[in-house]
Amino acid sequence: MLLTSFDAVADHDAEILILGSMPGKASLLRHQYYAHQRNAFWPIMAKLYAIPLDLAYSERLVCLQQRKVALWDVMRNCERVSSLDADIVESTIVVNDFVRFLQHHSSIRLIVLNGQKAFQTFKRYALPLLSETGKDIECVVLPSTSPAHASLSFSQKYEQWQQALTS
């Protein structure tokens, strides 16, 4: 099944860009980033940035934008039969237009890749297209917040995310 990710959620003054790979089924159904109830993304953001988890999704997005954090995915389109990154059909990957995005968001200083698939895809398909300016932006790979990535506890994931986003 061909999947299409969401538009970027970003103000022009965003400094941090958090990139997932491709939304899972729960997120696609609800048209919300990180909508799976066991995904650690929103609990991590809540703890890092004092964003109440009971806020409506649109209000949580506003809170992130106020903290100069943008959300997007590396892939614009791909085929996948489940929510697992391992099920993405590599030959169907189309990445988002990072050249254009970074031209319009020149204050981005840090790109955070949420998990290994986001990192691998960004490195292989997006990074070679970036100008020297874009390649100078710091990139950090963090443990996936997906419930499928259960080898680390919430505390271990939070610690790594905190270290990257507050340094």
User: How many angstroms separate the CA atoms of 23 and 1, rounded?
Assistant: 13
User: What's the confidence (pLDDT) of residue 83?
Assistant: 73
DSSP sequence for 86-154: GGB-GGG-EE--HHHHHHH-TT--EEEEESHHHHHHIIIIIGGGS-HHHHTSEEEEE---STT--SS-H
**Cβ within 8 Å of residue 161, ≥6 positions away:** 44, 48, 142, 143, 145
User: What's the confidence (pLDDT) of residue 133?
Assistant: 62
Compute CA 92 distance to the chain's CA centroid, rounded to the nearest angstrom: 19
- The residue ranges of every structural domain in the chain are 2-165
Q: Is 114 a catalytic residue?
A: no
Catalytic residue from among 39, 77, 96, 114 = 39
pLDDT along the chain (167 residues), means of 10: 94 97 93 96 98 97 98 95 79 94 95 96 92 80 90 96 93
Tokens 């729960």 locate to 26
Compute CA 13 distance to the chain's CA centroid, rounded to the nearest angstrom: 17
On whether the 2-165 domain is CATH 3.40.470.10, my answer is yes
* Residue-wise burial string across 62-87, b where 16 or more C-beta atoms lie within 10 A, e elsewhere: ebbbebebbbbbbbbebebeebebee
pTM exceeds 0.85, yes or no: yes
CB atoms within 10 A of CB 23: 23
